[in-house]
Structure 1
Amino acid sequence: MNLKKTKWWQKSVIYQIYPLTFADANGDGKGDLKGIIRRLDYLNDGNPNSQTSLGIDAIWLSPINQSPMIDNGYDVSDYRDICPTFGTLADFEKLLNEAHQRGIKVIMDLVINHTSNQHNWFIESSSSRDNPKSDWYLWQDPAPDGGVPNNWLSYFGGSGWTFNQQRGQYYYHTFNYNQPDVNWRNPDVKAAIYDMIRFWLNKGVDGFRLDASSVYSKDQYFRDNPMKFGATDKNDYNNQHHLYNKNLPDNHQIIKEIRQLIDEYDDRVILGETFIDNRLYDSVVFYGVNNDELHLPFTFEFAFSPWYPAYLQQEIEKKELLTPAGASPTYFLDNHDIPRHLSRWIECSLCTNPKAIAKAAATILLTVRGTPLLYYGQEIGMVNHLNIPPEKARDKAVANPQSGESVPSRDGARTPMQWDDSAQAGFSFGKNVEPWLPVNENYLDVNVENKLKQDDSILNFYKSLLRVRKNSEALQVGRWRTLIYYPYEHLAYLRETEHESVLILINFSYEKDLGLDESIEIPMWEVLLSNKRKTGKIIDLPEKLQPFEVSILRKS
């Protein structure tokens, strides 16, 4: 792949911000757009030689649209306005301008599988069976016995159907009952959503991350999903084959139409969450037959892999084999829906040193072929907050009061960004503020200001790694090739273009023989970055890897 011919998202690093807990400018304890603006220089100040800036290329903002915040923004009540929690439309326009001045692209979350039940569309639709928006949601009569229309379940637990007294009918919701699914078979719904997308593109947004992009379309006959062989619990979402409420063929037509709309504008991108329980071979089809659907579909297999070389390489090799020609894989370790990777992987690793795991994980994420996504705080080593009192819990959507069921809270991965060791970790620019979620107790040590001062910190390693990646054609667009086919305790792979070869060595354990295939010609190597070797030094290929070594070498 030619670096000059690639699109910006194929060589960029995208940084996800959860706005509620990133930075609070007005002192109300909740993050906002002005807070993000005040922290932009930390992300990228426009200076490639900056000593304090990360140097990321784009930010993805979790939802900031008008919302009653039952699901913290993933329940939109007005697509064309900003939730007052975060500021105003003028604040967003300023954020766009300030970000673009620094070379930062801005990607918005686009939640279009469902709306809030407080959206005007749903209020009108639910008012009667004969109003102009009567068919804008998925309404069905009760079953002959008066119960739910079919066996479709909510991902958050219990039935996916909720009864509406005004219409005397049930409406379907993939998620919480406050989030009714829209009817994508209605052309008026499509037109309204597509017009809204143009509204934001015309403002200069650089792209969208499509939330739950595999569940837009549902079976027009509302047939029951078949149960998996041997399953006994009919109320368990994972016990169904979701043939009729997920990933239907016409779902891809919807995404293709959104892509066509996006392509009317220069240099815009669409990412997509292809839903948490899709397998990789299902998700790959979201690129489209002719790379005409999502630019960057992402799945959870890599993030959910055990911290073990063979499993991680298996996921990389799958993506290498299945990603269409001309397209880019997408990788992430953390996001707003899953526990942070250091909390997950330290439990399944022989290594009890979080710093070693963090540096190794960062190296894999930022040196495999594809577009990496960072989640705020992972660059300083943030971990899940495990002691949030019930009265301070904010993830209300996962509880289903109708069924009494719930899925695990996601609050622990959404706590405030830890900027310094002052009150509330510097999250709020106000004083004596109680933040929306409690700050993790480790903030006195794990914070940006502190880690910038430590030469061997996770943060400074990320900064160096991001600079190495930005200055390497091979790491941005080169081919990926493994040098160990059955990795046991270390990874060794090459990134190559016609002009550059970069070797990545990662040891997951104690001192080990490197043990590469003897048929591979290995010249002298320059150390680009290492936690064990001196940067800039020219070395022979090492015969042994030092304990928990991470080294990035360039053919000299």
Structure 2
Amino acid sequence: MSQVSWWRGAVIYQIYPRSLNDASGDGVGDLRGIINKMDYIASLNVDAIWISPFFKSPMKDFGYDISDYRCVDPMFGTMEDFDELIEQAHSKGIKVVIDQVLSHTSDQHQWFTESRTSKDNDKSDWYVWADPKEDGSAPNNWLAIFGGCAWEWEPRRSQYYLHNFLTSQPDLNFYNPDVRQAVLDNVKFWLDKGVDGFRLDAITFCYHDHLLRDNPAKPADKRQGRGFSEDNPYAYQYHYFNNTRPETVEFIEELRQLIEQYPGVVTLGEVSSEDSLATMAEYTQGTKRLHMAYSFELLTDDFSARYIRETVEALENSIGDGWPCWAIGNHDVKRVATRWGKGEFSDEMGKMLNALLCSLRGSVCSYQGEELGLSEADIPFEQVQDPFGIAFWPMFKGRDGCRTPMPWQANQPSGGFSTQAPWLPVPNEHLNRAVDIQSIDSSSMLSSYQRLLDWRKAHPVLIFGGIKFFDVSDDVLLFEREYQGVRYLVGFNLTANSTTVTNPITASMSPIPQDMLPGAILNNDVIEFAPFGCLYAKY
């Protein structure tokens, strides 16, 4: 692909539509609310928006359980609203990426409603059905991410169906060519609507092992949470047989053939596997698979220069001609201000984190509220909405804390998000970070974010350049970005303390002033970083 492709190095602003802005006054955000905030989105200087699901759904998993892929849920508005949203975004130079949840549907989708009735109907083989063992138990030991067995009994068929998430999210049978074609037809519907790309949810879950072999146990010291509590028994297995099957690559290539008929459209895969970095490399290899992929490697609690460097280098060493996309927050994990701030978050740290994210090689997904420095909200159990949190409370409180409504006006009820009580409460501490306060403060995180993204657009080396790390300190990330003979030394102090490191570059250097970020000083052969300081120097 040419380097002029819009998505290479793009900053994609993730919108969780339930929580951006409520225009209808029912306490839930909607498409009209996004349209009404399009000027704000444009002011951020992002290249695209990614909108989480707004399709018709019973909302058991808040839109990731789709009952009609070609219909806007009335909660979010109408298809006419979506058409206007695309028009408004495009008029401001903003691309529109939407979620596609391909591996599973809602149990209220008409396909499943028919499939579950018998073993011989037209849709009988559209989902993953299996007979019980001789003792009546589930076909194998596979577990669901949201807790418990991944199989649910259906008495009308005297069989189990597979669900890798909620019981109300049955998995489609991608071995059936009719299923694959129906899925691709749904994607084509939105391509014809004029969308610019798709974020592919849970793409590694499309296929299952035909033989239904048991997953092997994972030793206790190898159990890692997927952005959630390690007490989840899902972490007790290697998910070799219900995730990342080799056939998935074949489907991705089928999908890419369709996408290629619509120039400029991008695919971004969400990757969660036993070796996510290797899977990212595999899924983005060459020009016949995904354009980009991202994983949960920087969505963990591990915040250190060593870990970030090792993660980036591991991907760089394996991805070849593939293209990465990095994120430090999204709608599924604790907000980065809390997760990495560990109770000591400050505006300076927030500015540094946004600058770090936007300085890595690859594209960027920036989650709504990260430009404001929003922290994880503490939702009491009686107000928890997320079924994941309800099931695992109190060890894991779910994903509601990162999904609370955007605070627009500090002195308005619910932060100006809605005229009614919102679906999740707006924390008082978020009101101090409301848009109306930060937008008039030139030193705020919001102002820094806007200037950073505008400045980044003028520096192609940060968008397209290669990356090479230097050994300096446990507290400092220091790397080179190089593009067409232009080299930048880029550095970040990850601590709240001033620190000094040796400058590994002997060539003459020209620091690039950064009034929107905590700084650093080049002093002969050393670099003096302010707390959470950032360095950009050309040489």
**TM-score normalized by the length of structure 2:** 0.93
3-state DSSP of counterpart to 1:480: strand
Q: Which runs of 5+ in 2 are unaligned?
A: 224-230
Cα deviation, 1:341-360, whole Å, max 9, x if unaligned, reads 11011228xxx342222111
3-state DSSP of counterpart to 1:103: coil
3-state DSSP of counterpart to 1:334: coil
1:321 correspondence with 2:307: no
Whether the 8 Å contact between 1:529 and 1:551 is mirrored in structure 2 is: no
Whether the 8 Å contact between 2:409 and 2:415 is mirrored in structure 1 is: yes
Distance (Å, rounded) in 2 between the aligned partners of 1:302 and 1:308: 11
Whether the 8 Å contact between 2:21 and 2:406 is mirrored in structure 1 is: yes
The residue that corresponds to 1:492 in the other structure is: 478
1:97 correspondence with 2:80: no
Distance (Å, rounded) in 1 between the aligned partners of 2:524 and 2:444: 26
CA positional deviation for 1:425? 0.7
The residue that corresponds to 1:355 in the other structure is: 347
CA positional deviation for 1:423? 1.2
Cα deviation, 1:100-120, whole Å, max 9, x if unaligned, reads 111111111001110000000
3-state DSSP of counterpart to 1:284: helix
The residue that corresponds to 1:391 in the other structure is: 382
1:341 correspondence with 2:336: yes
Relative to structure 1, is the Cα distance of residues 454 and 165 closer, same or farther in structure 2, using a 3 angstrom cutoff?
Answer: same
Amino acid at match of 2:324: P
Amino acid at match of 2:296: F
The residue that corresponds to 1:47 in the other structure is: none
Relative to structure 1, is the Cα distance of residues 230 and 412 closer, same or farther in structure 2, using a 3 angstrom cutoff?
Answer: closer
The residue that corresponds to 1:155 in the other structure is: 145
CA positional deviation for 1:530? 5.3
1:441 correspondence with 2:439: no
1:395-544 maps to which residues of 2 (within 5 A)?
Answer: 395-396=386-387, 399=390, 408-421=397-410, 422-428=412-418, 431=419, 433-482=420-469, 484-498=470-484, 500-509=486-495, 510-517=497-504, 520-529=506-515, 531-532=517-518, 543-544=526-527
Whether the 8 Å contact between 2:50 and 2:98 is mirrored in structure 1 is: yes
The residue that corresponds to 1:21 in the other structure is: 19
Distance (Å, rounded) in 1 between the aligned partners of 2:519 and 2:177: 61
1:550 correspondence with 2:537: no
Relative to structure 1, is the Cα distance of residues 193 and 114 closer, same or farther in structure 2, using a 3 angstrom cutoff?
Answer: same
1:117-132 maps to which residues of 2 (within 5 A)?
Answer: 117-132=107-122
Relative to structure 1, is the Cα distance of residues 409 and 353 closer, same or farther in structure 2, using a 3 angstrom cutoff?
Answer: closer
Relative to structure 1, is the Cα distance of residues 235 and 533 closer, same or farther in structure 2, using a 3 angstrom cutoff?
Answer: closer
Distance (Å, rounded) in 2 between the aligned partners of 1:406 and 1:163: 28
Whether the 8 Å contact between 2:329 and 2:336 is mirrored in structure 1 is: yes
CA positional deviation for 1:418? 1.1
Whether the 8 Å contact between 2:348 and 2:517 is mirrored in structure 1 is: no
Distance (Å, rounded) in 1 between the aligned partners of 2:247 and 2:483: 38
CA positional deviation for 1:397? 5.0
Relative to structure 1, is the Cα distance of residues 278 and 441 closer, same or farther in structure 2, using a 3 angstrom cutoff?
Answer: farther
CA positional deviation for 1:320? 2.1
Q: CA RMSD in A?
A: 2.5
Amino acid at match of 1:555: K
Relative to structure 1, is the Cα distance of residues 487 and 336 closer, same or farther in structure 2, using a 3 angstrom cutoff?
Answer: same
Whether the 8 Å contact between 2:205 and 2:243 is mirrored in structure 1 is: yes
Relative to structure 1, is the Cα distance of residues 251 and 128 closer, same or farther in structure 2, using a 3 angstrom cutoff?
Answer: same
Distance (Å, rounded) in 2 between the aligned partners of 1:418 and 1:221: 50
3-state DSSP of counterpart to 1:379: coil
The residue that corresponds to 1:7 in the other structure is: 5
Cα deviation, 1:333-379, whole Å, max 9, x if unaligned, reads 1001000011011228xxx3422221111111011111011000010
Amino acid at match of 2:176: N
Relative to structure 1, is the Cα distance of residues 524 and 57 closer, same or farther in structure 2, using a 3 angstrom cutoff?
Answer: closer
Residue number among 207, 210, 235 corresponding to 1:238 in the alignment? 235
Whether the 8 Å contact between 1:157 and 1:405 is mirrored in structure 2 is: no
Cα deviation, 1:191-223, whole Å, max 9, x if unaligned, reads 111111111101101111111111100111212
Whether the 8 Å contact between 2:407 and 2:430 is mirrored in structure 1 is: yes
3-state DSSP of counterpart to 1:466: helix
Amino acid at match of 1:88: T
CA positional deviation for 1:256? 1.4
Distance (Å, rounded) in 1 between the aligned partners of 2:301 and 2:312: 11
The residue that corresponds to 1:332 in the other structure is: 327
Relative to structure 1, is the Cα distance of residues 151 and 7 closer, same or farther in structure 2, using a 3 angstrom cutoff?
Answer: same
Residue number among 51, 57, 66 corresponding to 1:67 in the alignment? 57
1:303 correspondence with 2:299: yes
CA positional deviation for 1:303? 2.8
The residue that corresponds to 2:226 in the other structure is: none
Residue number among 133, 148, 165 corresponding to 1:175 in the alignment? 165
3-state DSSP of counterpart to 1:15: strand
1:268 correspondence with 2:254: no
1:184 correspondence with 2:174: yes
Whether the 8 Å contact between 1:481 and 1:494 is mirrored in structure 2 is: yes
Relative to structure 1, is the Cα distance of residues 143 and 533 closer, same or farther in structure 2, using a 3 angstrom cutoff?
Answer: closer
Amino acid at match of 2:500: D
Whether the 8 Å contact between 2:477 and 2:493 is mirrored in structure 1 is: yes
Distance (Å, rounded) in 1 between the aligned partners of 2:519 and 2:161: 61
Whether the 8 Å contact between 2:299 and 2:333 is mirrored in structure 1 is: no
CA positional deviation for 1:493? 2.0
CA positional deviation for 1:149? 1.3
**TM-score normalized by the length of structure 1:** 0.90
Amino acid at match of 2:451: S
Whether the 8 Å contact between 1:468 and 1:529 is mirrored in structure 2 is: no
1:285-296 maps to which residues of 2 (within 5 A)?
Answer: 285-288=282-285, 290-296=286-292
Distance (Å, rounded) in 2 between the aligned partners of 1:111 and 1:183: 14
Whether the 8 Å contact between 2:280 and 2:295 is mirrored in structure 1 is: yes
Relative to structure 1, is the Cα distance of residues 365 and 456 closer, same or farther in structure 2, using a 3 angstrom cutoff?
Answer: same
Amino acid at match of 1:381: G
Aligned residues with identical type, % of pairs: 38
Whether the 8 Å contact between 1:331 and 1:373 is mirrored in structure 2 is: yes
Amino acid at match of 2:531: F
Relative to structure 1, is the Cα distance of residues 300 and 170 closer, same or farther in structure 2, using a 3 angstrom cutoff?
Answer: same
Relative to structure 1, is the Cα distance of residues 211 and 366 closer, same or farther in structure 2, using a 3 angstrom cutoff?
Answer: same
Whether the 8 Å contact between 2:405 and 2:417 is mirrored in structure 1 is: yes
1:256 correspondence with 2:253: yes
1:74-113 maps to which residues of 2 (within 5 A)?
Answer: 74-113=64-103
Q: How many residues of Structure 1 are paired with residues of Structure 2 in the alignment?
A: 530
Distance (Å, rounded) in 2 between the aligned partners of 1:400 and 1:54: 37
Amino acid at match of 1:545: E
Distance (Å, rounded) in 2 between the aligned partners of 1:357 and 1:475: 20
Cα deviation, 1:293-346, whole Å, max 9, x if unaligned, reads 111111111232622212212222222222222x32211010010000110112
- Of 19-28 and 445-454, more deviation after overlay is shown by 445-454
The residue that corresponds to 2:228 in the other structure is: none
Whether the 8 Å contact between 2:127 and 2:161 is mirrored in structure 1 is: yes
1:42 correspondence with 2:25: no
3-state DSSP of counterpart to 1:10: coil
